[in-house]
Amino acid sequence: MLDWTDRHCRYFHRQITRHTWLYTEMVTTGSIIHGDAQRFLNFSDDEHPVALQLGGSEPDDLAKCARLGEQWGYDEINLNCGCPSERVQRGAFGACLMSEPTLVADGVKAMCDAVSIDVTVKHRIGINDVESYDFVRDFVGTVADAGCRTFIVHARNAILKGLSPKENREIPPLKYDYAYQLKQDFPQLEIIVNGGIRTLEDIDAHLLHVDGVMVGREAYHNPWLMSAFDERYYDDAPSTKTRLQVVEAMLPYIESQLATGGPRLNSIVRHMLGLMAGLRGARTFRQTMSDAKLLASGDAGILLHAAQSLPLAA
């Protein structure tokens, strides 16, 4: 979710669901250690529970960044072993790390030794033409021995050459049964499935076999799906907040961010384009919120006006 689940996106999602775990976009260890750590690590207290997703392969660097993440207040450190982009591969991390389970285990152990919060791993079920279940089973077994207890399984292979990241989310076939089998083989571990999950019914079906579900693209493009999560999966009271009230809740945040002279209005509202998905007039809302000339004014009231023009009962 590079360039997608930044702090503004997560703050917006938190207005819809109180309990769902949120994950940062992948942040490289080099960006944190040698760049502007505050830029990459800052987040709002309202985002909790929130996990810091790291990209990297050097155990010492991972430990240093995990320690910083804990000090910053994150609730979990997640190591990305699933991103297939060539840019990430050139940094020797992401999905290509699945071919080096011992190195991943060393990184996980270093992070576990450095922090008291959970260290988790997100990964694919295979890379390139490796189709055998044994490959992912052995990867999980090796990394689990280093102290990881939670694995987020994107149930597709990662094709490291010849496919774009977008194609890697669509072309390799989904094999949910691999994630299910991991839970059978490692009942002591928390296994969370990811990939191609779009509906509440999909989530319910997966939860018959694994411990949890991660929803990525659908949660971004159709965020109102998450409005049912707290009641359905966290035994909380049903949400009474409307989509219009979500927009109203965002206004003080947007205004405070703009007042710092940092992000532009578009940098925040771009994450909200899917809020009205399924409603009559949703297309007009998206078009208004994508109008560069309107957004250049920096007037957050544009968002409220666009939302108020829609029938929001649905």
Q: How confident is the model at residue 84 (pLDDT cuts 50, 70, 90)?
A: confident
**Residue 202 DSSP class:** H
Residues 188, 210: contact at Cβ < 8 Å? no
| All residues at 6 or more sequence positions from 309 whose CB lies less than 8 Å from its CB, including other chains | 281, 284, 285
CA 51/CA 10 separation, integer angstroms:
11
Q: Answer yes or no: are the C-beta atoms of 127 and 158 closer than 8 Å.
A: yes
Cα(303)–Cα(79) distance, rounded to whole angstroms? 35
Q: Which two tokens stand for residue 35?
A: 């760049």
Residues 24-74: pLDDT tens digits?
Answer: 999 999 999 999 999 999 999 999 999 999 999 999 999 999 999 999 999
pLDDT at residue 9 greater than cutoff 60: yes
Per residue in 218-268, pLDDT (tens digit) is 999 999 999 999 999 999 998 889 999 999 999 999 999 999 887 899 999
pTM: 0.94
Instruction: Give the pLDDT confidence score for residue 170 in this predicted structure.
Output: 85
Q: How far is CA 256 from CA 103, 186, 262, in A?
A: 43, 46, 10
Map out the domains of the chain with their CATH numbers.
7-234 (3.20.20.70), 243-308 (1.20.120)
Return the amino acid letter for 241.
K
How many CB atoms lie under 10 A from the CB of residue 233?
Answer: 17
Residue 183 and residue 209 in contact, taking contact as beta carbons nearer than 8 Å: yes
83 among known catalytic residues: yes
The pLDDT assigned to 314 comes to 42
Please say if the pLDDT value at position 187 is more than 90.
yes
In degrees rounded to 5, what are phi and psi of residue 266? -60, -35
Spot the catalytic one: 83, 96, 112, 148.
83
